[in-house]
Amino acid sequence: MDNFIYNLPTKVYFGPDQLQHLGEEAAKYGKNVLFCYGGGSIKKNGLYDKAMASLNEAGLHVTELSGIEPNPKIESVYKGAELCKENHIDCVVAVGGGSVIDCAKIIAAAACVDFDPWEFFSKKTPIEKALPVIDVLTLAATGTEMDDCAVISNPETVDKMGAASPALIPKVSFMDPAVTFSVPAYQTAAGSADILNHIMEDYFAPRPNLFMLDRFMEGLMQTVIRYAPIAMEDPENYEARANLMWASSWAINGFNRGANPKVWSMHPIEHQLTANYGITHGHGLAIVTPRYLQYVRNEKTMPRLVEFGVWVWGIDPALSDDEIVDQAIAKTENFLFDQLKLTDNLKGFGVSEDRFDAMAEKACKKGIIHGFFDLGKEDIKAIYQACMQPHA
Ligand code: NZQ
Ligand code: ZN
């Protein structure tokens, strides 16, 4: 294994009744806080009042930015950055799911520059500095609560793009699984598909395998497979919500990657679905995942697909490789479409094949997505086409 540096500077408060520490943590950075949230779920579940009480008790001056939309738009970043500059904000507090936290991260970076923050995405201008971000996670899915990444949409250019920087890693993360009791079944399913896919992106990467990391990732995948249906059936099951929440963070906080570079394939394919048709991120991934696995199976990728079948799904290793992979893909489909009840194809979303050419070109940035299987434009188009058909 090559050398690597692993530095995870996020302090985690896990479990109920920890939010009382929000004020003291934010006060470490100064007096002025930007408080970001979404469409109002935090007002319904009482989180808004609790977070505000803690910030007020610490004597902080709070400016609010509400209405951050799912798949956050660059417009919200502009608004937040302006508020930061006008109010001399010292720390950004984000209370919500991945959309609110991602938006808050880019607001925190935009507050430190004088140029259009869309350039972080369109021109890949490096993010060198950001205000400190503290998050209060309300939905187990993206892992943004403990990672260095944020994804923003630009409806004008029909783009959805990610940016990453150590400066974006939250300083503190509050994770109370009980807060996710109110997450609707559909969002629980989509979030769980997202967590599973984050692990798969690293698992199916060209990498020197490390036994310890492989078994760790398989354990994480089994955690999602075991607990997502329980959380859907019994939304207030603390054990299920806690397992999903902690798995969401560890799926994507860099641990699984070890010394390997980040080479993700299914996410760029999915981001085009959200950018063009507004499909929920995790749902789009659920539709793409089995088609991708089917498309990339060949002599070279087979050993890893077999490992996935045997270790994650418990398929009999005595079967032929083809039988194992057939069963692994079928079990993945059964989990995503039957147990999580996610629609299994793109037709119902008004997706039309006319855009596949342009979408595929954007997904591979006019080149190749290098990874477990190198994907060019025609490969990606074929995967989109396979996503139009119901699964067998
Ligand atoms: O807006 P509010 O009122 O908060 O409602 C939200 C929203 O409507 C609701 N919700 C959140 N917590 C809830 C709740 N409803 C009831 N009870 C609660 N406790 O759920 C809806 C969806 O929320 P959203 O934040 O959009 O979902 P998610 O966490 O899945 O985030 C998706 C975004 O994250 C990006 C995705 O592309 C997408 O834009 N991602 C970010 C990543 C990262 N930073 O590393 C990686 C991921 O791959 C992903 O791309
Ligand atoms: Zn994702």
Q: Separation of 319 CA from ligand 1 center, angstroms?
A: 40
Whether residues 124 and 30 fall in one domain = yes
| pLDDT (0 to 100) of residue 90 | 98
Please state, in angstroms and rounded to a whole number, the distance separating the CA atoms of residues 101 and 150. 8
| Helical ranges in the chain per DSSP H | 22-27, 41-44, 47-57, 74-86, 98-110, 119-122, 185-203, 211-233, 238-252, 266-277, 281-296, 302-307, 313, 321-333, 356-363, 377-386
Number of domains in the chain: 2
CATH number at 284 reads 1.20.1090.10
Same domain for 127 and 205: no
- CA 217, CA 229: separation in Å to the nearest integer? 19
Rounded CA gap, 375 and 268, in Å?
11
Q: Using the atom order of ligand 1, give the atom closest to the CA of residue 72.
A: 39
pLDDT (tens digit, 9 = 90+) per residue, 111-158?
999 999 999 999 999 999 999 999 999 999 999 999 999 999 999 999
Structural domain boundaries enclosing 168: 11-179
Task: Check residue 208 and give its pLDDT.
Answer: 76
- Mean pLDDT (the chain) is 96
Rg, C-alpha atoms of the chain: 21
Residue where a domain terminates, one of 126, 151, 179? 179
Examine the fold and report which residue of 150, 179, 208 is the final residue of a domain before the chain moves on: 179
- pLDDT, position 198: 98
In tens, the pLDDT along 153-210 reads 999 999 999 999 999 999 999 999 999 999 999 999 999 999 999 999 999 998 777 8
The answer to whether residues 215 and 161 belong to one domain is no
Going by their DSSP bridges, the two strands 149-154 and 32-37 should be labelled as: unpaired
- Amino acid identity, residue 159? D
> Percent of the chain at pLDDT above 90?
93
One domain, residues 333 and 234: yes
pTM of the model: 0.97
What pLDDT band is residue 24 in, cutting at 50, 70 and 90? very high
Across residues 79-86, what is the average pLDDT?
98
- Please indicate, yes or no, if residue 4 is contained in any of the structural domains: no
Which among 122, 98, 120, 99 is positioned nearest to 109, based on CA atoms?
120
Ligand 1 atom with the smallest distance to the CA of 70 is 26
Query: Residues 83, 63: contact at Cβ < 8 Å?
Result: yes
Answer whether 106 contacts ligand 1 (Cβ < 6 A).
no
Q: 71 and 191 share a domain?
A: no
76 lines ligand 1 (CB under 6 A): no
Which ligand has the nearest atom to the CA of 262? 1
For residue 12, the cross-strand partners are 173
Residues 266-278, mean pLDDT to the nearest whole number:
96
Residue 6 falls inside a structural domain: no
* Domain identity same for 165 and 212: no
Please check whether residues 46 and 173 belong to one and the same domain. yes
Choosing from 179, 204, 239, the residue where a domain stops is 179
Does residue 288 sit in the same domain as residue 326? Answer: yes
- The answer to whether residue 1 is domain-embedded is no
Domain match, 150 and 241 both: no
pLDDT tens digits, one per residue of 351-376? 999 999 999 999 999 899 999 999 99
Give the C-alpha separation, 4 to 264, whole Å: 19
* Position 115 in a domain: yes
